[in-house]
Amino acid sequence: MMQLGAILFGAAFTVAVCLALGQLLLRWAQAPLKRQEELPLALVAGAPILSLIVFLLGILQLFHWWLFLAIGAGVITLAVARGGLRPGGESFEPLASPYRWVYAGIFAAYGVLYLSNAMAPETSPDGSTYHLGLVSRYLRAGGLERITTNMYANISQGIEMLFVFAFAFGRHSAAALVHLAFFASITLSIVNYGRRFGLPGAGLAAALFFFLSPVVGRDGTVAYNDVATAAVLFSLFYLLRIWSESPSDRLLVPIGLLAGFCYGVKYTAAPGLVFAAAYVIWKLHRAQRLRLRPLLIFGLCAFLLVAPWMVRNAVWLDNPVSPFFNKLFPNPHVQIAVEEEYREHMRNYDGLESHWDLPLELTVRGKVLRGLLGPLFLLAPLGLIALRWKEGRWLWLLALVTGITYASNHGTRFLIPSLPYVALAMGLVFTRVPRLAPALVVAHAVLSFPSVILTYSDQEVWIIYRLHWKAALRIETEEGFLRRTFPDYEVARMVQDNVGDGEKLLAFGPVAEAYTDREILVVYQAAHNRVLGNMLMAGYNTGSQPTRRIRLDFPSGSYRKLRLVQTAAGFPEQWQVSELRVFDGSGELERTNQWRLRANPNPWSVQRAFDNSLATSWSSWEAIRDGMFLEIDFGAERQASAIVVECPPDQWNIDLRVSGSRDGQTWEPVPAEMNDTYLAEPPKGMRRMVANELKREGVRYFLTSEHDPAGPDFEERAREWNVTKVAGSWGRRLYRFN
Amino acid sequence: MLRQGQERLRFIACAACLLFLLAAGCNDYPESYPPPEQRVPLTPLETGEEMAFVEAGEAGAEFYFVNDIRALEVDQWRWTGEAPTLRYLLYDVDDLTFLMEFALPEVSFKNTNRITVTFLVNGKEVGRKQYDTPGRRQFEAPVDPDWLVSGEETAVTARVNPALVLPDSGLKYGLIFFKAGFERR
């Protein structure tokens, strides 16, 4: 009961503080809102302020529940004192739809389903791994911390800051309930949008189209941020419309904050900021009121919500927009190749054979793109008829703005931000035909019911499956529910129970980090982890093992510096060097402390090619291009006659040349004869070498599964890896390096 | 008043932008790095791999040699003394065959018509062969698993009788060694 109370308090308190802040802001801004509009818009308008406060507290390492309590109580008291509880503005005309009771029934039924799922323990893939994994990590650390081993910590986390606030009191489910509050807010705002702009029937239908969509229902009831992002964008455009009809500089404050918050909640919502800025400028220009003051108000407010994330990333990660644009901001934390792979992966979901499959995958099947909008949205093209009307053109413009980033990620949930406008456009068209919209709403409600979905969708699709009222009310314990329904929880607890405090675990796949406080390095999540993962692969994967020897012989000469230059271009492969050795005759030059090593690109890991270990390597971490080099400054002139490169074989197109410098300033090509040989067998002891290097990097544990290529190898060659299997759960095995 | 307010706002905006750009452009990575700590190569015993077979010319072959095996000649063979001894590390000791490939050159038969080679595994005789003519030979015999201990060194000796003795130096030459070790049947 205590736990349930904490959950409800954490969520309600966070929502109340947002509402209070939003109410204070909107009233100060003299937003001409109707009574019904205040609540949903205040929640979203207050969110950027609370998010910013939490961010600043995090930077100051002041994440304490009692401080949150004090600040929240202060804000609520202030709002109450300023009349925040008194309803302001006039009411809309009552909704006259004869179907309103049917609609209310549908809202209520799905509302209970959604509430029970949001209150149930968190089992979502991303929520349990990084959304709440990072939130719980920040709370343990007492504030935000520099994390270079998880690129999900690099993206903006505006909504996660609200989760921090809620999690401090009610943990996981409180965060999910905060997301649900945004879900409720946007649904109400869609209804209100219709009422304000003269399309009440369309608004009501659209709200239900959105609310009942299976992917929205699933996403909005877990600790994700897509529905909240949609709510921020919708509220922004809502207020922009109001501002365009009743321009005031004060109203540009919440508009600017929300515009900046678009970037602050999710990079993919950044076009909302750009659009809002352009719209404000355009409107001011058309009204011949283009002055500095409104632009500065808008710009500064937006900047307030954008800057924290950019500055954090610039200072901590050397890239203000990490984990993207690493070519523009080269840094050791996210490799260019990894970014490109990630982008490619997001664009091309496994199983999506053609873009022509998108309509059915998005609306009916759902497995490949991890969620479905519902078959109703097969009718979305009919919404284009709305282009006939000005309102319809506006809605489709917003759908385009909010959906433009869908090209970068084809997951169904990335369409959620544009769904309200598509739904409204559809509502606009369908309400022109008597009884069509209610019929479609009812059909949509039936087709979105969990047991019905499974009759037409793929199996194992990401939807809400059932009501979880016992788990929601904690009649069934959280532990019991998670162990019964969520295998990843068992794995997380296995990690918690067996990995020592402060010890690092390397894993190829994600772990439900929201349920363990151990440090987990997931291979694909950061440059450092990727380097460790590649090192591990060199233990068992022949393609990654340094079985190739490239010897470049040149006339013996005296050099202050030598460079090995890669000149090929136009191939996707990367250049990788396990060891680079310099010889004079048959004797290798000793690597002395006088030497200075450089590399371009990826200068940060050049030492890995000069450590006398075949388990480690330097890699370009981007496709080969002319001019990449590894350079040795001997510190003084040294006699040399050959360079030997030991490297993995799978870099068929590299073309290596030698350059030399006698004075350390001017470079001259050194004609060299290349001799390329391949070892039939990998060097002996690769597994043990790799294990030793991983230990040197502080990695004491490795989590694998029988599906990983590494899994069977660890099972069969445990002695060579020098590991002990310490635990296993749900096909995952935990090994300790001895 | 309004103008002053605008200028203040402009100043704050510019300062914030400048700070941001400075932060974005700053990093303190060194331009070059010294060589790191050099790793010491693992000995075969440290690799955790079975040391079951060795060829005369392979890298690290010396680690297998305990006694009486000389330097590598033309990348693929070595002279031995009269009782070359090698060591192996075996983990799975069941169903193993000991195999040695070697040669007895003509010069070894200068003072004798017959050379006997006795093969010992952990001191126990696994086989004995008599050779009457020079040439390349292969010896092969199954090994009783009871003679072997998993995870512990296994010693193998090939005793050559008689060995060739150089009159000047008194050095003894047994056979020409190519490869030897254990293979699974």
Task: Tell me how far apart the terminal alpha carbons of chain A are, to the nearest angstrom.
Answer: 44
CB A69 within 8 A of CB A9: no
CA distances from A644 to A77, A544, A549, A552, A553 (A): 73, 18, 7, 6, 9
Q: What are the Cα distances from residue A657, in Å, to A151, A556, A566, A567, B177?
A: 35, 16, 6, 7, 41
Count of all residues that appear for chain B in the document: 185
Residues 6+ apart with CB under 8 A from A281: A290, A295
Are A574 and A623 spatial neighbours (Cβ–Cβ below 8 Å)?
A: yes
Residue B53 has pLDDT above 70, yes or no: yes
What CA–CA distances, in Å, run from A674 to A129, A553, A644?
49, 7, 10
Q: Tens digit of pLDDT for each residue in A640-693?
A: 999 999 999 989 999 999 999 999 999 999 999 999 999 888 888 999 999 999
Distance of CA A105 to the CA centre of its chain: 35
Tokens of A738: 């001895």
What confidence category does residue B8 fall into, taking pLDDT thresholds of 50, 70 and 90? low
- Residue B75 forms contact with A (CB below 8 Å): no
Q: CA-CA distances (angstroms) from residue A162 to A2, A169, A223, B77? A: 22, 12, 11, 73
- Among residues A212, A224, A628, A615, the alpha carbon closest in space to that of A442 is found at A212
What the block records as the tokens of B94 is: 């069941």
Whether A613 has a pLDDT exceeding 60, the answer reads yes
The confidence score (pLDDT) of residue A671 equals 96
**Which residue among B13, B27, B39 sits closest to A612, beta carbon to beta carbon?**
B39
Task: Read off the pLDDT band of A705 (50, 70, 90).
Answer: confident
> What is the per-residue pLDDT for B79?
95
Q: What is the Cα–Cα distance from B27 to A392, expressed in whole angstroms?
A: 49
Over range A240-264, report the average pLDDT: 97
Please tell me the distance from the alpha carbon of residue A691 to that of residue A718, in angstroms, as a whole number: 11
ipTM metric: 0.84
Mean pLDDT of chain A: 95
The dihedral through the CA atoms of A692, A696, A701, A704 has a sign that is negative
**pLDDT digit string, tens, across residues A406-461:** 999 999 999 999 999 999 999 999 999 999 999 999 999 999 999 999 999 999 89
Cβ–Cβ gap A597/B34 under 8 Å: yes
What average pLDDT does range A91-105 have in this prediction?
88
| Cα separation, A324 vs A321, whole angstroms | 6
User: In chain A, pLDDT over 90 holds for what percent of residues?
Assistant: 92
Q: Residue A396 and residue A319: Cα distance in Å, rounded?
A: 34
Please state the separation of Cα A308 from the chain's center in Å: 17
Question: Is A551 strand, coil or helix?
Answer: strand
Q: How confident is the model at residue B16, as a pLDDT?
A: 61
CB contact under 8 A, B44 and A685: yes
The minimum CA-CA distance between A255 and chain B, rounded to whole Å, is 18
Residue B164 has pLDDT above 60, yes or no: yes
Cβ-based contacts of A314 with chain B (< 8 Å): 20, 23-24, 26
Task: State mean pLDDT over A54-61.
Answer: 97
Tell me if chain B has a CB within 8 Å of the CB of A354: no
Give the per-residue pLDDT at A662: 94
Q: Is A98 left (phi over 0), alpha (psi -120 to 50) or beta?
A: alpha
What is the mean predicted confidence (pLDDT) over B155-181? 94
Per-residue pLDDT, B15: 59
What percent of chain A has a predicted confidence (pLDDT) above 70? 100
* CATH code at B44-184: 2.60.120
pLDDT digits 0-9 by tens, A266-306? 999 999 999 999 999 999 999 988 889 999 999 999 999 99
The pLDDT of residue B21 is 56
Average pLDDT score over residue span A36-56: 97
The tens digit of pLDDT for each residue in A354-400 reads: 899 999 999 999 999 999 999 999 999 999 999 999 999 999 999 99
Burial class (CB in 10 A: 0-12, 13-18, 19+), A356: exposed
Minimum mean pLDDT among A40-44, A85-89, A684-688: which range? Answer: A85-89
Residue A85 has pLDDT above 80, yes or no: no
Interface of B with A in 27-56 (CB under 8 A): 27, 29, 31-42, 44, 46-49
Three-class secondary structure assignment of A624-672? CCCCEEEEEEEEEEEEEEEEEEEECCCCCCCCEEEEEECCCCCCEEECC
Give residue-wise pLDDT tens across range A678-687.
Answer: 988 888 899 9
Tell me, what's the pLDDT at A130? 97
- Mean pLDDT across A330-353: 90
- Whether A448 and A212 have beta carbons less than 8 Å apart is answered as yes
- Rounded-to-integer distance, Cα A98 and Cα B133, Å: 111
What is the pLDDT averaged over residues A594-614?
97
pLDDT recorded at residue B1: 46
The confidence score (pLDDT) of residue A121 equals 98
Q: B36 and A685: CB-CB below 8 Å?
A: no
Share the mean pLDDT of chain B.
87
Residue A625 has pLDDT above 90, yes or no: yes
- Buried b or exposed e, range B96-125, using 16+ CB within 10 angstroms: bebebbbebeeebbeeeeebebebbbbeee
> Which A positions 665-724 lie with beta carbon below 8 A of chain B?
684-685, 687-689, 692-693, 719-722
Average pLDDT over residues A225-248: 97
Q: Is residue B27 scored above 70 in pLDDT?
A: no
User: What is the biggest distance separating any 2 CA atoms in chain A, rounded to whole angstroms?
Assistant: 95
pLDDT value for B10: 56
Query: How many angstroms away from the CA of B163 is the closest CA of chain A?
Result: 34
Under 8 Å between Cβ of A333 and A319: yes
Kindly state the average pLDDT of the residues A538-551: 94
Rounded average pLDDT over A212-225: 98
Over the stretch A715-734, which tens digit does the pLDDT of each residue have? Answer: 999 999 999 999 999 999 99
DSSP state of A607: G
Per-residue confidence (pLDDT) for residue A115, from 0 to 100: 98
Tally of residues, chain A: 738
DSSP state of A129: I
Residues of chain B in contact with residue A592, where contact means CB-CB under 8 angstroms, are 35
Q: Which pLDDT belongs to residue A84?
A: 78
Q: Which of A303, A607, A631 sits opposite B35 (nearest CB)?
A: A607
